[in-house]
Amino acid sequence: MDQLISSNVRETLEKVSASLGCSPTSAQVASYLDEHDYLRHLRDEFLIPKIADLPCTDLSLVDGSEESIYLIGNSLGLQPKMTRKYVEEELDKWAKMGVHGHISGSRPWAWAEDNLEERMANVVGAKTDEVALMNGLTVNLHLLMLSFYKPTAKRHKILLEDKAFPSDHYAVESQIRLRGFDPQQSMLLLSPRPGEETLRTEDILELIKKEGDAIAVVMFSGVQYYTGQLFDLAAITEAGQRKGCYVGFDCAHAAGNVELKLHDWGVDFACWCSYKYLNSGAGGIAGAFVHEKHDNTIKPALLGWWGHDLKTRFKMNNVLELQPGVKGFRLCNQPVLLVCCLQASLEIFEMTGMQALRRKSLLLTGYLEYLIQHYYSEDPTRPLKTHVHIITPSDPQQRGCQLSLSFSIPIRKVYEQLQKRGVACDMREPSVLRIAPTPLYNTFSDIYRFVETLGSALASH
Ligand SMILES: *Cc1c(COP(=O)(O)O)cnc(C)c1O
């Protein structure tokens, strides 16, 4: 790596700008960091939308032929260039050989997903046999809860964060009802302290210690979708299991974003979608993890033929030979076109690794934080100026790539101005923007352009 670039973001920006003879906020610094980015070639693996092709742009304000400033990989990742090729290969195969595609070609449909599970396991820090690709995220969460949530009169609660993603909230609520319990009594929601926006690890651990005997399952997100907070999965797992709880995580915003070690941390179960940081396209095939320690104890509550051992699956004799662990949770034959989409993305992850991605990510997000603080910190001498407060923890160990920015003014008009200028990001009324620079394809110049564009959007709204 370049000797000016270290893990200390501020120091890096100061050293680079000093060597270039410019300010740390200059565009030259972004260019320098892009030139010295050891992962910059990965952007070429993706199709980057042009500004003119986004629906809300105003071409009198910007050059439509430029690439958009795409900072919303936390919602939908970009399309890898190979996706179309792989999908077309299977469409061609279907057209040419019909049913024979199940067992022929480079990607036999009958076991297409098996070829991907090792790559997926590497991304989430699991063993290959601990990962299954199947269904959608919420379906997988339900299937896992059906096996891990076995409430009793004394131990019937599920602990999750207050304001969890709605689908997770509803899933937990309905699982509690399904077992004949009352969400009012059994759903334990943890909120930040008054005046605070994110949870303190000590408070999570304390609550588990206090209430653990009544908690059946601790079910947190890995990275909180709204605040961008990365939870201490290892500590939460350890604390929950010490009290006899099962501990599971929804890693929708963590998979492909931060380094996960689901196996080493001893996490009981996890699930995630693949269309956010894993770039598999809307509604892509989702992932599920069950730790191998449960291979002989935790069984799927619902069965289907895809849980049957592949070697004898097609004998069709109705004598189930259930695959151990999470593989036994599979119900249906897999959507091969979705498998193709995920393959294209996981191959890009294979060109690097989560450790290298994370190293870039810390600098990329740190750069965004630096610029936002530089231009928009609260300044008592200029009370009328718009200021921006970053909700996401400032400790890099407690966040992934996303920063959630809270503005001192309602943000809708500003957001519209950003869209007109070719920025793709996420807004939550009244005043929050979620900005996710993803290390696979975002550049330091994207961050520079975003902050510059934010300045003109604020000036013109
Ligand atoms: C994106 C997301 C979902 C979406 O669920 P689907 O079943 O894929 O529609 C659910 N939970 C969390 C935490 C998410 O971030």
Mean pLDDT of 46-54: 97
**Packed helices 9-20 and 354-376: angle between N→C axes, nearest 10 degrees:** 70
Looking at the chain, the whole-number percentage of residues with pLDDT higher than 90 is: 94
Take atom 1 of ligand 1 and give the residue whose Cα is closest. Answer: 252
User: pLDDT-derived band of residue 184, with 50, 70 and 90 as boundaries?
Assistant: very high
Compute the distance between CA of residue 361 and CA of residue 401 in angstroms, rounded to an integer: 6
Q: What is the pLDDT of residue 113?
A: 84
pLDDT band per the 50, 70, 90 thresholds, residue 228: very high
Q: What are phi and psi for residue 189, nearest 5 degrees?
A: -105, 125
Over range 261-282, report the average pLDDT. 98
Confidence of residue 164 (pLDDT cuts 50, 70, 90): very high
pLDDT digits (tens, 9 = 90+) for 240-252: 999 999 999 999 9
How many angstroms is it from 138 CA to the middle of ligand 1?
A: 6
Identify whether the C-beta of residue 136 lies closer than 8 Å to the C-beta of residue 153. Answer: no
pLDDT per residue as tens digits for the range 101-111: 999 998 999 99
Atom 10, ligand 1: residue with shortest CA distance: 167
Check whether 165 has a pLDDT greater than 90. Answer: yes
Ligand 1 atom with least separation from CA of 252: 15
Ligand 1 center to 283 CA (angstroms): 10
> Was 44 annotated as part of a binding site?
no
Distance CA 73, CA 277 (A): 6
CB–CB of 104/97 below 8 Å? Answer: yes
* Alpha-carbon span 410 to 420, nearest angstrom: 18
pLDDT at 381: 84
Alpha helices in 114-248 (DSSP H): 114-124, 137-148, 166-178, 183-186, 201-211, 233-242
Taking only the tens place, the pLDDT of each residue in 296-341 is 899 999 999 999 999 999 999 999 999 999 999 999 999 999 999 9
pLDDT (0 to 100) of residue 460: 87
Is the model's pLDDT at 429 over the cut of 90?
A: no
DSSP assignment of 184-213, as one string? HHHEEEE-PPTT-SS--HHHHHHHHHHHGG
pLDDT at 461 over 90: no
Q: Is 305 annotated as a binding residue?
A: yes
Q: Residue 385 — pLDDT band, cuts 50, 70, 90? A: confident
Residue 92 labeled ligand binder: no
Give the Cα separation of 352 and 185 in Å (integer).
Answer: 46
pLDDT at 206 over 90: yes
**Among 72, 137, 226, 279, which residue has the most ligand 1 atoms within 8 Å of its CB, making it the best to mutate?**
137
| pLDDT(94) > 80 | yes
147, 217 Cβ separation under 8 angstroms? no
Nearest atom of ligand 1 to the alpha carbon of 225: 15
Reported as a pLDDT band with limits 50, 70 and 90, residue 392 is very high
pTM exceeds 0.85, yes or no? yes
Report the alpha-carbon distance of residue 102 to residue 304 in Å, rounded.
18
| Alpha-carbon distances, residue 123 vs 143, 341, 354, 449 (angstroms) | 22, 16, 6, 30
Amino acid 430: pLDDT: 87
Is a pLDDT exceeding 80 seen at residue 383? no
Q: What angle do CA 429, 433, 439 make, to 5 degrees?
A: 150
Q: CA-CA distance, 132 to 141, in Å (whole number)?
A: 13
* pLDDT given at position 3: 83
Above 70 in pLDDT, residue 1?
no
458 marked ligand binding residue = no
Of 41-45, 234-238, 296-300, 380-384, where does mean pLDDT reach its minimum?
380-384
Query: Is 111 annotated as ligand-binding?
Result: no
Q: 254 near 110, Cβ under 8 Å?
A: no
Q: Whose CA is nearest to atom 13 of ligand 1?
A: 165
pLDDT score recorded for residue 5:
87
Does residue 379 have a pLDDT over 70? yes
Within 6 A (CB) of ligand 1 lie 136-138, 165, 167-168, 221, 225, 250, 252-253, 273
CA of 356 to the centre of ligand 1 (A): 26
108 φ/ψ angles, rounded to the nearest 5 degrees:
-55, 130
